[in-house]
């Protein structure tokens, strides 16, 4: 019999090798889990994993599911593969100040071609202290709208100089564009996506504009897949890359925030499974290992520009190190006798190609099986032909790769707790150099899907204030309010929203400017 209030959660996370799915009940207990190979079209693997977990609990119990969460690689894949991208009009508000460097000057040509981007430069923008560089000429905006209509552009990205300080010209440009193109026309606004750093913020906004249809198709396909399993009238959320969730409508506006949500789901899942708030999380999959930092219960964000598809951006991204080590990593002996592990991998074919499963490729999984460290995986006797020296050298290389990645994420020389998650974490030893403790929690193999299922909803603001115009205390309070509003807009229950992080950075090179970053989180609206 279904609960009167449907509080169960379906969490799905798409990895490069496997798509994981879990169902969690109203008391946050795991009641079903599975791993299914990720398919080329991504959605096939999602449907297979969903069908399997629903089958495990039965349709009657599945009627308790009230929430469905998806962490997906759709947007990342679209950029990497240069496919399914919107035709974008990139509107730069910055004449005459920004003519020295053209829009998308350092972009790969094949990506620009795939997006069919055309850039437009109009007058406007602000100085670092909020003064106008030049007035916004609305007729120029209307002319851009005319070209957008006539040439069939599918999305617009609007970027103005120093819009994190003053977004007045961006907001007015959007109003003019909407009057000309309609309220539903997709418009990406740079001040809502990136922070200081004009070119990187412009890049992020253009990428976001290019992903609108990918996000819409992904969300619609996910809802169709749910309906096919008899799961209807549920609240649907997509994972975003700070370890939290966002509503479908919010995801369609900001699809770029889904990029790198997989590793952050794993970090949140690791925190939930271990109850640790501060640790280094090592997520080992079939192809790669992602190492991130759990800081106060959430993934630590990167403070530097991040490249997406060879394009520099400055929107929020998790601080990660990725290395080519996974359960399917291919092991070889070089001519000089040394042993290499990866970076190439058999990926999801590990259960077919690895020796331990009756295949003929020596993988990292075979190395640990041969050492007797993975008795539950395949048939270890099939690795008996492996040379003992190869096994020992291969294992030492696996440990070295993991320890080096952990060391790269440490901010001090002291030992730190390390949490191992992901199906490939059987590769890691029980002790690591530089680790005060190595934790491998129950259900570690589906920590990413668990992280997706239990995640909260967040809102984040990064804005520059002039202290001569807005006192520090007032600026912080305004930023807190806006961050809370963002969290509610993304789907959080207003009664549960709280500010968890406030950072204010004086920007001496900009006079009396103060950059304030605030993050707020809240529980799902039940």
- Residue 208 confidence (pLDDT): 94
Smallest CA-to-CA distance from 188 within 91, 315, 74, 309 is with 91
Q: Cα separation of 375 and 263, whole Å?
A: 27
- Residue 474 confidence (pLDDT): 93
Which CA distances in Å does 468 have to 133, 473, 511? 19, 12, 10
Does residue 378 come out as left (phi exceeding 0), alpha (psi in the -120 to 50 range) or beta?
left
Is the pLDDT score of 49 beyond 70?
A: yes
Q: Where are the beta strands (DSSP E) in 288-388?
A: 289-295, 298-299, 306-308, 311-313, 320-323, 329-333, 339-345
Helix 74-81 / helix 198-210 crossing angle, nearest 10 deg: 100
- Residue 510 confidence (pLDDT): 66
Which CA distances in Å does 388 have to 34, 258, 325, 398? 34, 44, 21, 15
Close Cβ partners of 31 (under 8 Å, ≥ 6 residues apart) = 8, 23, 24, 25, 56, 57, 61
Question: What is the band of 1 on the pLDDT scale with cuts at 50, 70, 90?
Answer: very low
Question: What is the band of 114 on the pLDDT scale with cuts at 50, 70, 90?
Answer: confident
Question: What is the band of 526 on the pLDDT scale with cuts at 50, 70, 90?
Answer: low
Q: Cα separation of 334 and 353, whole Å?
A: 21
Environment class of residue 275 by beta-carbon count within 10 Å: exposed (0-12), middle (13-18) or buried (19+)? Answer: exposed
Is the pLDDT score of 313 beyond 80?
A: yes
- Residue 21 confidence (pLDDT): 94
Q: Which residues of 234-254 are buried (b: 16+ CB within 10 A; e: fewer)?
A: bbbbbbbbbbbbbbbebbbbb
Smallest CA-to-CA distance from 255 within 305, 214, 308 is with 214
8-state DSSP, 276 = -
- Residue 268 confidence (pLDDT): 92
Q: Cα separation of 244 and 261, whole Å?
A: 9
Q: Are the beta carbons of 280 and 416 closer than 8 angstroms? A: yes
Q: What is the pLDDT of residues 450-478, one digit of tens each?
A: 999 988 888 888 888 888 788 989 999 99
Q: Hey, is 462 helix, strand or coil? A: strand
- Report pTM: 0.84
Smallest CA-to-CA distance from 23 within 177, 204, 229 is with 229
Is the pLDDT score of 162 beyond 60?
A: yes
Q: Give, rounded to a whole angstrom, the gap between the first and last alpha carbons of the chain.
A: 19
- Residue 317 confidence (pLDDT): 84
**Average pLDDT estimate for 481-497:** 90
The tokens of 87 are what?
């035709």
Q: Give CA torsion, residues 217, 72, 365, 352, to 10 deg.
A: -10
Which CA distances in Å does 325 have to 187, 205, 266, 288, 364? 39, 32, 16, 5, 8
Q: Cα separation of 44 and 455, whole Å?
A: 24
- Residue 273 confidence (pLDDT): 94
Q: Which residue has the higher pLDDT, 271 or 82?
A: 271
Smallest CA-to-CA distance from 378 within 390, 389, 394, 367 is with 367
Is the pLDDT score of 436 beyond 90?
A: yes
Q: Cα separation of 342 and 397, whole Å?
A: 10
Q: Which residues sit opposite 313 in a β-bridge?
A: 306
8-state DSSP, 28 = S
The tokens of 38 are what?
């990720």
The tokens of 225 are what?
């897949």
Q: Cα separation of 437 and 65, whole Å?
A: 36
**Average pLDDT estimate for 43-60:** 91
Q: What is the pLDDT of residues 62-113, one digit of tens each?
A: 889 999 999 987 888 788 778 889 999 999 999 888 888 888 888 888 888 8
Q: Cα separation of 370 and 356, whole Å?
A: 9
Q: Cα separation of 457 and 240, whole Å?
A: 9
- Residue 508 confidence (pLDDT): 67
Mean pLDDT score of the chain: 89
- Residue 509 confidence (pLDDT): 64
Q: Cα separation of 354 and 364, whole Å?
A: 9
Q: Which residue has the higher pLDDT, 128 or 246?
A: 246
High-pLDDT (> 90) share of the chain, %: 48
Number of neighbours of residue 298 by Cβ within 10 angstroms: 24
Q: Are the beta carbons of 157 and 190 closer than 8 angstroms? A: yes
Is the pLDDT score of 201 beyond 60?
A: yes
Q: Cα separation of 274 and 270, whole Å?
A: 6
Q: Report DSSP letters for 104-155, one per residue.
A: TTTS-HHHHHHHT-EEEEEE--B-TTS-BSS---HHHHHHHHHHHHHTT--E
Question: What is the band of 4 on the pLDDT scale with cuts at 50, 70, 90?
Answer: low
Q: Cα separation of 82 and 170, whole Å?
A: 28
Is the pLDDT score of 178 beyond 90?
A: yes
**Average pLDDT estimate for 387-404:** 93
Smallest CA-to-CA distance from 247 within 14, 459, 500 is with 459
Q: Which residue has the higher pLDDT, 31 or 349?
A: 31
Q: Which residue has the higher pLDDT, 40 or 377?
A: 377
């Amino acid at each position: 019999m279904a609960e009167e209030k449907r509080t169960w959660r379906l969490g799905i996370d798409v990895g490069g090798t496997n798509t994981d799915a879990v169902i969690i009940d109203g008391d946050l207990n795991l009641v079903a889990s599975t791993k299914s190979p990720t398919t080329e079209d991504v959605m096939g693997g999602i449907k297979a994993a969903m069908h399997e977990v629903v089958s495990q609990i039965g349709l009657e119990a599945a009627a308790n599911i009230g929430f469905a969460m998806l962490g997906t690689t759709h947007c990342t894949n679209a950029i990497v593969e240069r496919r399914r991208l919107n035709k974008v009009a990139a509107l730069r508000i910055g004449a005459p100040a920004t003519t020295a460097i053209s829009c998308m000057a350092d972009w790969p040509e094949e990506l620009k071609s795939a997006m069919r981007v055309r850039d437009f430069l109009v007058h406007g923008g602000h100085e670092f202290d909020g003064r106008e560089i030049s007035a916004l000429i609305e007729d120029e905006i209307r002319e851009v709208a005319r070209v957008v209509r006539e040439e069939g552009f599918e999305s617009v990205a609007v970027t103005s100089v120093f819009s994190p300080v003053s977004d007045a010209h961006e907001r007015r440009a959007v109003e003019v564009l909407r009057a000309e193109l309609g309220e539903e026309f997709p418009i990406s606004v740079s001040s809502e996506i990136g922070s200081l750093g004009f070119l990187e913020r412009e890049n992020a906004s253009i990428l976001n504009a290019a992903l609108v249809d990918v996000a819409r198709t992904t969300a619609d396909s996910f809802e169709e897949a749910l309906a096919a399993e008899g799961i209807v009238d549920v609240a649907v959320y997509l994972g975003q890359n700070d370890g939290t969730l966002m509503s479908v409508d919010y995801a369609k506006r900001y699809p770029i925030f889904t990029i790198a949500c997989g590793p952050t789901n794993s970090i949140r899942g690791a925190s939930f499974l271990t109850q640790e708030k501060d640790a280094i999380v090592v997520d080992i999959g079939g192809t790669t290992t992602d190492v991130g930092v759990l800081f106060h219960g959430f993934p630590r964000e990167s403070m530097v520009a991040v490249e997406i598809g060879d394009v520099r951006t400055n929107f929020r991204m998790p601080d990660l190190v990725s290395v080519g080590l996974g359960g399917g990593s291919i092991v070889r002996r070089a001519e000089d006798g040394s042993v290499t592990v990866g970076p190439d991998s058999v990926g999801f074919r590990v259960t077919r190609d690895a020796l331990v499963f009756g295949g003929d490729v020596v993988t990292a999984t075979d190395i640990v099986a041969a050492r007797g460290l993975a008795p539950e995986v395949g048939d270890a006797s099939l690795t008996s032909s492996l040379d003992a020296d190869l096994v020992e050298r291969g294992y030492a290389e696996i440990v070295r790769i993991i320890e080096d990645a952990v060391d790269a994420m440490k901010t001090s020389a002291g030992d730190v707790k390390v949490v191992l998650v992901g199906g490939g974490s059987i590769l890691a030893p029980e002790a690591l150099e530089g680790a005060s403790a190595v934790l491998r929690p129950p259900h570690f193999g589906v920590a990413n899907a668990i992280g997706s299922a239990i995640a909260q909803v967040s809102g984040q603001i990064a804005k520059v204030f002039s202290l001569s115009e807005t006192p520090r205390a007032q600026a912080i309070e305004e930023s807190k309010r806006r961050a809370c509003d963002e969290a509610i807009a993304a789907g959080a229950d207003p009664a549960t929203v709280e500010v968890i992080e406030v950072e204010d950075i004086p920007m001496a090179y900009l006079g009396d400017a103060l950059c304030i970053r605030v993050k707020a989180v809240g529980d799902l609206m039940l």
